[in-house]
Amino acid sequence: MDGIHIVAFAEEADPDGFEFLETLKAVAQDNTDNPDLSIIWIDPDDFPLLVPYWEKTFDIDLSAPQIGVVNVTD
């Protein structure tokens, strides 16, 4: 689990979310050879019961795309 983890929340069906995901895909392609990087995409529409939890826990507004970076080390 060590390494850099990019966590992205974006709705694929939303125009802003779609553009955001296209950029995220480009970042993933540019970093294919980086074993310390993982990208996690979460579509809030797929987990409607978790949206209030994520918004409160991470202090974010999921009505727009959001991104965060976590650096995990032992």
Rounded mean pLDDT of the chain?
Answer: 92
Please give the radius of gyration of the chain, using alpha carbons only, rounded to the nearest integer: 13
Confidence at 35, pLDDT banded by 50, 70, 90: confident
Average pLDDT over residues 13-24: 95
Parse the chain into domains and list their residue ranges. 3-72
Which of 3.40.30.10, 3.40.50.300, 3.40.80.10, 1.20.1070.10 is the CATH number of 3-72?
A: 3.40.30.10
Residue 39 confidence (pLDDT)? 92
**Is residue 74 pLDDT above 80, yes or no?**
no
Query: What separation in angstroms does the CA of 27 have from each of 14, 22, 30, 62?
Result: 20, 9, 5, 21
Does the pLDDT of residue 48 top 80, yes or no?
yes
- Average pLDDT (40-44) is 95
